[in-house]
Amino acid sequence: MTVAVGGRRVLGDLAAAARLTWESGRGVVLGYAAVTAVAGLLPVAAAWCTKVLLDRLDGGAAGDRWSLLPVAVGLAAVGLLGGLLPVVGQYLRARLDRVVGVLSMDRLYQAMNRLSGIGRLEDPAFRDQLRMAQQAGRSGPSRLVDDGLGVAQSALTMVGFLGTLLVVNPWMAAVVVASAAPALWAQLRLGRSRADVLWSISPHERREYFYAELLGSLAAAQEIRLLGLGDLFRRRMLVELSAANAAIAGQDRREARTEGLLAGLTAAVAGGGLVWAVLLAAAGRQSIGDVSVFLAAVAGVQLASQGIAHRIGMAHHAMLLFGHYRDIEATVPDLVVATGSGPVPRLRTGIELRDVWFRYGEDQPWVLRGVDLLIPQGRATALVGLNGAGKSTLVKLLCRFYDPTRGAILWDGVDLRELPVAEFREHIGAVFQDYMAYDLSVAENIGLGDVTALDDRPRIVAAADRAGMHPTIDTLPHGYDTWLSRMFVDESDRENPDTGVLLSGGQWQRLALARAFLRDQRDLMILDEPSSGLDAQAEHEVHRRLREHRAHGTSVLISHRLGTVRDADTIVVLAEGRVAEHGTHDELVAADAGYARLFRTQAAGYQDVSP
Ligand code: ADP
Ligand code: MG
């Protein structure tokens, strides 16, 4: 597979990398560029000093120390620089890597945070690209600049030698070019095909990584052991690894063949040139110094051309990765940008869904097909329906993670698309069906619900208490400061049994609930199956507390257990992407349709098991 990288795109990427590097640290860049330039000319200077020295020695100046000494000192200085420059260069390069890494990661995640919807994150292609951008972002730009400077350094060496030889004997320059040019050309091609091969195996590498991760993952451990999946996944991992290895082995063979051939050719040309130069010297038509410059030039130019080919190959690979970084960095907002600005007023009358149609993608089936719904201010609206009816999807639209494909959602009559999204979300609190469990302390897991409360311990404790989590937290080794993680911060943690407590699913759900309670003064509280992981008693308790809260707020409550929502002000039944029924519990039971049937089925289930 070859990867088409347009010339203009390459230049654009290079320029962007250079810009980013320049902005990260001008002093370091200038210093590094200076070191590179001097290092590029150093071999030429050494060869020239040697030539002058040999010629003077040969020309009978052996006794004249004043003509020899400066040259010898110059040669010594060149040697000293040759020893020091790599050290300074390495230091500057590492420094450059770090400063560029900070700036590029900052830009990348600023771009990520500009995505206010979540649709793009669901796109597997985007996620792939993001992963590669993360890989490239840290060191990609500085590597590109480094490779560029490396090419410049080798080019300087080459030009320096060829210029010198042109002065000495133009034919010698021609021989050197003839010995290095084919190798340079071939190696450039090889470098490019190596980059393409590395690129083409990246899907194998990603899958290999996926299986490797899976085999060590805590979340998957139970199923892998019970179902005996370990060997299957290990074999699949090896298949991916072998596929990647086979592609690289093919490339290695090609490289070995070509390079062997080239080495022979280059050596033959250089050897022929050497014999010719020696014959010229023997005939007195060229000085000893000239021959020494020629020898140094042959070796130096060959080395430089190898360096150029190698650097260009690496740059090609770095460029492919960096292209992804640039794509992500240039990501445009995924939602319509609001026409309005400034704070969003508090909800006064209610939220209205007007003929809302929605599907996750153009090639996906409709999930919502014309939902008309009013969520009145100050009331509790319950949303019920079978699995996959679109309840959680509706929640995502209410939070404006997506915009409706057709129709509109109105906040006191104003289309959500006209409200600035961050300000709008300030008005919402929610427990999502797939809530988060953060690898942070208990207090932070709750406090994140309102970042202004992160250090407000009394508020956090009150929220935990309302979620029925306070007694449990009190028994944890460090109370609210207990770290909820299996990850160890350092070696001493490993010994300390107090760190890294892991909660049960139901306990995590209560923490999520506590987190949402921190936002209970907001206008709309959304609870998507907030008690699905709780035992019956805890569920009863949580819903009692939720009812207390509902007395003064607007809420949308989703539950598949109809008993928990029967006293909501309105119950809305979603079926086949539309509102099938709505009314109070008593009205819906009296109507004796889908809701009544479902309710009777669930109630009968409970009666069957009761003694
Ligand atoms: P509910 O919460 O009522 O169980 P959901 O809203 O989660 O239902 O899902 C409704 C439908 O949308 C389901 O058929 C589901 O497969 C589909 N769906 C949900 N999320 C996505 C997604 N991110 N991409 C594509 N389809 C989705
Ligand atoms: Mg759901």
* pLDDT at residue 463 in the model: 94
Judged by its nearest atom, the ligand closest to the C-alpha of residue 388 is 1
Q: How confident is the model at residue 446 (pLDDT cuts 50, 70, 90)?
A: very high
The per-type count for the chain, helices as H runs and strands as E runs, is 20, 10
**Each residue of 319-363: pLDDT tens digit?**
878 888 888 888 888 888 777 777 899 999 999 999 999 999 889
Q: How confident is the model at residue 6 (pLDDT cuts 50, 70, 90)?
A: low
Average pLDDT over residues 423-436: 93
Whole-number Å distance between alpha carbons of 39 and 43: 8
- Cβ atoms 441, 480 nearer than 8 A: yes
- Is the predicted pLDDT of residue 2 greater than 50, yes or no? no
Q: How confident is the model at residue 493 (pLDDT cuts 50, 70, 90)?
A: low
Q: How close is the Cα of 13 to the center of ligand 1, in Å?
A: 39
Give the CA diameter of the chain: 122
β-strands 554-558, 380-384 pairing: parallel
β-strands 578-583, 570-575 pairing: antiparallel
Q: How close is the Cα of 580 to the center of ligand 2, in Å?
A: 17
Of 367, 435, 527, 556, the one to substitute when testing ligand 1's pocket (max ligand atoms within 8 A of C-beta) is 367
In one-letter notation, the amino acid at residue 161 is F
DSSP state of 1: -
Task: Provide φ and ψ at 504, rounded to 5°.
Answer: -85, 165
532 lines ligand 1 (CB under 6 A): no
- Cβ atoms 356, 407 nearer than 8 A: yes
**Each residue of 233-291: pLDDT tens digit?**
999 999 999 999 999 999 999 999 998 998 888 888 888 888 998 999 999 888 989 88
Task: Provide φ and ψ at 403, rounded to 5°.
Answer: -100, 150
Please give the structure tokens belonging to residue 90: 């390495």
Whole-number Å distance between alpha carbons of 500 and 199: 39
Q: How confident is the model at residue 389 (pLDDT cuts 50, 70, 90)?
A: very high
- Cβ atoms 349, 377 nearer than 8 A: yes
* pLDDT at residue 44 in the model: 93
Please give the structure tokens belonging to residue 187: 């190696």
DSSP state of 563: G
**Each residue of 309-318: pLDDT tens digit?**
888 878 877 8
- Is the predicted pLDDT of residue 486 greater than 60, yes or no? no
Q: How confident is the model at residue 553 (pLDDT cuts 50, 70, 90)?
A: confident
Nearest atom of ligand 1 to the alpha carbon of 396: 6
**Each residue of 153-189: pLDDT tens digit?**
999 999 999 998 888 888 888 888 887 888 788 878 8
* pLDDT at residue 66 in the model: 82
Give, as residue ranges, everything with CB less than 5 Å from ion ligand 2.
391-392, 433
190 lines ligand 1 (CB under 6 A): no
Cβ neighbours for 43, distance < 8 A, ≥ 6 positions apart: 157, 160, 161, 296, 300
Judged by its nearest atom, the ligand closest to the C-alpha of residue 532 is 2
Nearest atom of ligand 1 to the alpha carbon of 389: 3
Answer with the residue of higher pLDDT: 541 or 608: 541
132 lines ligand 1 (CB under 6 A): no
360 lines ligand 1 (CB under 6 A): yes
Report the percentage of the chain scoring pLDDT > 90: 47
364 lines ligand 1 (CB under 6 A): yes
Q: How close is the Cα of 387 to the center of ligand 2, in Å?
A: 7
Report the percentage of the chain scoring pLDDT > 70: 94
Residue whose Cα lies nearest atom 25 of ligand 1: it is: 360
Residue whose Cα lies nearest atom 26 of ligand 1: it is: 360
Q: How confident is the model at residue 4 (pLDDT cuts 50, 70, 90)?
A: very low
- Is the predicted pLDDT of residue 611 greater than 50, yes or no? no
Closest by CA position to 143, among listed 313, 267, 302, 355: 313
Of 359, 360, 556, the one to substitute when testing ligand 1's pocket (max ligand atoms within 8 A of C-beta) is 360
Q: Is 342 left (phi over 0), alpha (psi -120 to 50) or beta?
A: left
Q: How confident is the model at residue 610 (pLDDT cuts 50, 70, 90)?
A: very low
**Each residue of 41-67: pLDDT tens digit?**
999 999 999 999 998 888 776 667 788
- Is the predicted pLDDT of residue 434 greater than 80, yes or no? yes
Please give the structure tokens belonging to residue 496: 């300390």
Compute the C-alpha angle 571/572/578, nearest 5°. Answer: 175
* pLDDT at residue 607 in the model: 66
Q: Average model confidence (pLDDT) for the chain? A: 87
* pLDDT at residue 494 in the model: 54
